[in-house]
Structure formats: C-alpha cells, structure tokens
Structure 1
Amino acid sequence: MPTTLTTAQADDLRRAIETAERRSRLRFGVYLGPPVGSRRHFAEKLHAALGDEAADSVVVFVDVHGRALEIVTGETARRRLPDGSCRLVGMSMATAFSAGDLIGGLLYGVTALADHAVARR
C-alpha cells in the first residue's frame, strides 16, 4: 500500500477535513508516517503540539508500514467522541487500509468521526 498521497488525494483529504471541521466544530488533523518512539506517545505529542486548540481537536495518526492507527481526542472533543466511537471508526479505517485503500480509509475516518461528533452535539 502506498505511504504517501497523490496531489488529488491530498486535496480530497483536505476538503474532507474542512467539511468535518465545519460540521462538527472540532479541529481535525491527519498525520501519515512513522512515529518517533512509541506510537501512542508520538500521537499524543502531535495532539499536544496544537496548543490552545488541542481541547477541541482530533488527531488521526497512521503508520502504514508499522500497521498502526491512533486517534487522539482533546478534552472537549472526547465528550462528543468517546473511546468507543473512535474504536469503531478505527476498526473500519483499518479494514480499508488492510485492503490497500489508504485514501478511502482516511476519508471515511474523518467523515465518520465528524458524524459521531455531530450526533452527540
């Protein structure tokens, strides 16, 4: 499976993130690449780097080669995206990734996380 996105795929992902943010009023970030150190700790560091916006943010970390996926939510975002919702979305994303569909899994994940957040607003 490719580990980078084409320009068209990156544009599609950017549009999906913008739509998710507008609908849910949360901030979304997606990181593709290997972690530095443990994957969970690295994903949490990415999230913390958002500073003042971290509470309302969701970071999706994907290490394609390491077959790792982490979804980190801020304090405010977690009230609308509990662990169970993130776990369900993550399982569907992992299924798409295992079938070789990186962009499909990412687009689904961002959209589904926003849908869950909107439903709990």
Structure 2
Amino acid sequence: MRGLTAAQADDLRTALTSAERRTGLRFAAFLGPPVGARRHFAERLHAAMGEESPDAVVVFVDVEGRALEIVTGENARLRLPDGSCRLTAMSMATVFSAGDLVGGLLYGINALAEQAARR
C-alpha cells in the first residue's frame, strides 16, 4: 500500500481481515490519488470487486487531496447506513488531521466492522 511502511501495511491488512471475519462483509482500503472525480473513482473501485460488491465496503483515502470516501454495497448498506458511515468518516478525519493516517484507517475499519457486526 502506497506510502505505508511494511509494518503499517501489515497492520492495515490485519484490520481488514479481522473486519471481514467479524462481519462476513468484504472490506478493502485504497490510498492514493483518484483517477477522475473522487466519488466516481471510489465507486469504480467498489464495482471492481465484482461478485463481492454487494457485500463490500471500500474505504478510499485521497491523502494529498485530503478527502475520504466510504462506499458500501447493497447488502453492506443494510448494516452500515449512510449516517453511520458519515459519522465514522468524521472521526477518521479528526485522527487524520492530527497526522495519523494509519491510526485513522485502523479506527475507521474497526468502527465500521463493529457497527456492521451489531446489526
């Protein structure tokens, strides 16, 4: 994963795997600049998950553009409504603003998994 140390990338992979095990949903994270409009790019990343896309949650962070998008599939959205994703994104942005990219990602993935596991 671009811009992360090996240990940070491992921590992020572990968080994604843990979130998947806890929820049965498919979690993915992408860090980097979008190709085209940010939201459209995040939606294309989500669609690229193919058959898994209805159960998928994609967290896209445009580090340089200082932006974050969370895209949920049809089934995932039943357990992670837009309001929950918005609140998680706001919390992640707070951690990001303190200069902790990985901490914000780990917090967000775990928070989304916790919310989805409860529903």
TM-score (norm 1): 0.96
Q: Does 1:76 align with 2:75?
A: yes
SS for the counterpart of 1:65 is: coil
Tell me which residue corresponds to 1:56.
Answer: 55
Equivalent residues in 2 for 1:9-48, closer than 5 Å = 9-48=8-47
Segments of 5+ residues of structure 1 without an aligned counterpart are none
Segments of 5+ residues of structure 2 without an aligned counterpart are none
CA distance in 2, matches of 1:64, 1:80: 27
- After superposition, what is the alpha-carbon deviation per residue over 1:22-57, rounded to whole angstroms, capped at 9, x for unaligned? 001100000000001100000000000011000000
* Larger RCO (CA within 8 A; separation ≥ 6): 1
| RMSD across aligned positions (CA) | 0.7
CA distance in 1, matches of 2:48, 2:31: 16
Q: How many residues align?
A: 118
CA distance in 2, matches of 1:115, 1:35: 28
Percent identical: 73
How far off its partner does 1:4 sit? 1.1
TM-score (norm 2): 0.97
